[in-house]
Structure 1
C-alpha cells in the first residue's frame, strides 16, 4: 500500500472515493472543487492505493478561523476521511491520519481537529483509539423563514 498526494493524475480517482463517502454529491462539482485544491497552500488530500486501486483518502485544511476546542492557530482540520468498507479495521485510516499529522506540522500547526456526527459511533471510537480527545457535542438547528 502506498500513499500518494493529490495530483492531476489521481484526481478522478479521488472524486470517485468522495462520491462513495457523500453519495448525494455530483461528480463535476466535486471534480472542480478538488481540482482547485491542486494549487492550494492550505489544503491537501492524500490517497491510499492498494496495487492499482485507490481505497482511501484524507482531506485536510489549515484553518485560522474558529475551530471548536482548538487553543492554537493555525489548526489542521480533517475535512474528510474515507476508507472503503472492505478495507476498514486494517490501520489504513490511522496511516492516513499520520500522513496528515506530518503535513500539519510542516504547516506550523500544533493541533489537529476533526468532527463527526453524534450517531457515528464507529468514527467516534476511531478518533479516540488514535489519540483524539472529545471536546464538545452539539446539536445544530435551522429554521425556515
Structure 2
C-alpha cells in the first residue's frame, strides 16, 4: 500500500510535503543543483555519501511542490548543530533550495519561517546555516530575515 505524505499550503499556489527515507536520490539531485549553480565545473559525486551519512529521522526533509510540476520545485533539509560557545543544540539548515524559475515569489522566505517555527517548537533558541559569499541573493535573503555572521569559515588550498 502506497501512503502519500501529508501536504500543506506553504504560500498560495505552493505546497509543502514531508520527505521520506525513499527520497534520498531526489535529495542528492537537489544538493547537486544547489552547488552546481555556484560551482558549475566541479564534480559533486561525493554528495550521495553526505546524504547517506546524515539523512535520518532526526534530520527532517520537506519538498516544495507546485501543481503541474512532476518534481518538487524546492526543498528544505534541517539538522542539528552545537553552539561551540554555549554548548546548546540548535537547528541547522543543511539545504534550502528553490528552483530558479520559482524564486522571488516568497518561497524561500516561507521556507525559512517554516524552519524557524519547527526549531522553536522543539525548543531551539537559535538557527544556523552556511551560505557562500559568492551567492548574493541568498546572503541578502538571510540578512533581510535577521541572520548575522557569527563566525567565518576559512579555507586555504594546499595544492
State the TM-score, normalized to the length of structure 2. 0.71
Listed as ranges, the gaps of 5+ residues in structure 2 are 1-13, 37-42
Residues 125-140 of structure 1 aligned to structure 2 (within 5 Å) = 125-140=140-155
Partners of 1:122 and 1:77 lie apart in 2 by: 19
Checking the alignment, whether the CA contact within 8 Å between 1:48 and 1:57 is kept in structure 2 is yes
What CA distance in whole angstroms lies between the structure 2 residues aligned with 1:133 and 1:36?
A: 26
For residues 5-84 of structure 1, the aligned pairs below 5 Å read 5-8=18-21, 10-23=23-36, 24-26=43-45, 30=48, 33=51, 37=55, 39-41=56-58, 43-51=59-67, 52=69, 53-64=71-82, 66=84, 71=86, 73-84=88-99
Separation (CA, whole Å) in 2 of partners of 1:121 and 1:34: 30
Taking the aligned partners of 2:133 and 2:98, their CA distance within structure 1 comes to: 19
TM-score, scaled to structure 1: 0.77
Structure-2 change in CA distance of 1:109 and 1:125 (3 Å): same
The question of 1:122 aligning with 2:137 is answered: yes
Deviations 1:71-126 (A, max 9, x none): 56111111111111111111111111122112212332110011212222221111
> 1:26: how far off?
3.2
Decide whether the 8 Å contact of 1:8 with 1:35 is kept in 2: no
In structure 2, the CA distance between the partners of 1:77 and 1:6, relative to structure 1 (3 Å rule), is: same
Unaligned runs of 5+ in 1: none
RCO comparison, higher one (Cα < 8 Å, 6+): 1
- Kindly indicate whether the alpha-carbon contact (under 8 Å) linking 1:17 and 1:55 is maintained by their aligned counterparts in 2: no
Residue 2 of structure 1 and its aligned partner are, at CA, apart by 0.6
Helix, strand or coil at the partner of 2:142: helix
* Partners of 1:34 and 1:92 in 2: CA distance: 27
